[in-house]
Amino acid sequence: MKKTILSGSTVTGDLTIGNYIGAINNWKKLQEDYDCLYFLADLHALTVFQDPQVLRDRTYSFFAQYLALGLDPEKNIIFAQSHVHEHAELMWILTCLTPMGFLNRMTQFKEKAEKHVKNVNSGLFTYPVLMAADILLYQADLVPVGEDQRQHLELTRDIVGFFEHRYGAGVFKLPDAHVGKQGARVMSLQDPEKKMSKSDDNDKNFVSIIDDAKKIEKKIKSATTDSGSEITFDLENKPGLSNLMTIYSVFSGKSIQALEAEYAGKMYGHLKVDLADLVVEHLRPVRERYVELMKNRDYLDELLKKGAARAQVRARGTLDQVYKTVGLVRS
C-alpha cells in the first residue's frame, strides 16, 4: 500500500514561487507515488482577524491555484479544512492532553504574538494542536515540512506520546517529515536573510504565482543582489544572488554549476533578465488556468464538496476510534 502524505497551506496572503518551489512543485511529483491529501487551512487563518468576504474569496483562490499548478483532484484528496468538522473535534481532545509548557516553546507563537500584539488570542497559542489534529486525523505517514515547521511536527509526535501514555498505543501513526531535496527554502527578494513569505506586508519581497508578467519582471529585476560582479553561488557572502540562482535552478532544471558556467563573465543584470523571462513563461499557463477556474465557482464548489466527502470518510474512522478509546459515548 502507498504511504499517506498530508499537507496544507493557510489561506492568507498569496501563494508565492517560494510555496511552489518548496512545497507544491514537490506535491505534484508525490501524487504519483503516494496517497496524498492536501487541504486549505481556513480554520488556521482565523488566528488573525480576517475580513469574511476576503477569506471566502481567498479560499476559492487558493483552491484554484492548487488546481492550476497541476494537483489532480482525482489522484489527490483536496479539501477545505473547515468542511471536515472532525478537525476541530479531535483538536479539543488533543488540547486536553497537551501541557501548556510545550506550547510555550513554540517559536512561531512568540513571533506571531510580537507581530499581532493587539490580538494575542488563545487560537494563536493552541493552533499547533490543530496542526497535530490535521495530521493525526488521516494517519499520515509523512508530512512535507520546511525547517520552520519541524518544531510543530515534533510537537505532533509528542502529542502521540501523551495520548499513548494515557490510553495505550494503536490509535495514531507516528508521522515523519518529508523534506524536498531542492529549493526547500526560498528567501525574500528584498531581504535574503529571511524566508519568502506569502503573508509578507511588502509585496516586493515575493513573486505570487498569479502575478502578471509586468509585476514578475519588476520584482525580479529589483531584487537585492550583493557586492561584486562574479556570478557564483555563495550563501554566506552572496545570499541575494544565491537566492536568485536557486530559483533559476528549480525553474530551469539546470544545476547551480551549470548556471555558474553559463553566466561566467556576465553581470547580475543578465541573470535577472533571463530569470524574469523564465519565471514569466513558466507561470503563464498557471495564471491562464487560474483565471479560467475562478470564473466558475460552481465547479470549484463541486470539487470541494467531493474532496471533503472523501476526506471525511477517513477522518470519521479515526475519530470514532479516538472517541471509543477515551470513553466518549457515540450517538
Which domains, ranges and CATH numbers included, belong to the chain? 4-183+297-326 (3.40.50.620), 211-292 (1.10.240.10)
Mean pLDDT of 81-86: 98
Q: Give the pLDDT confidence score for residue 183 in this predicted structure.
A: 46
pLDDT in tens, 161-210: 999 999 999 999 999 998 755 445 799 999 998 989 888 889 899 999 99
Q: Give the pLDDT confidence score for residue 180 in this predicted structure.
A: 59
**For all residues of the chain together, what is the average pLDDT?**
91
pLDDT in tens, 92-144: 999 999 999 999 888 777 677 677 677 778 888 899 999 999 999 999 999 98
Active site residues: 112, 195, 198
- Write out the chain in H/E/C secondary structure: CCCEEEEEEECCCCCEHHHHHHHHHHHHHHCCCCEEEEEEEHHHHCCCCCCHHHHHHHHHHHHHHHHHCCCCCCCEEEEEHHHCCHHHHHHHHHHCCCCHHHHHCCHHHHHHHHHCCCCCCHHHHHHHHHHHHHHHCCCCCEEECCHHHHHHHHHHHHHHHHHHHHHCCCCCCCCEEECCCCCCCCECCCCCCCECCCCCCCHHHCCECCCCHHHHHHHHHCCCCCCCCCCCCECCCEHHHHHHHHHHHHHHCCCHHHHHHHCCCCCHHHHHHHHHHHHHHHHHHHHHHHHHHHCCHHHHHHHHHHHHHHHHHHHHHHHHHHHHHHCCCCC
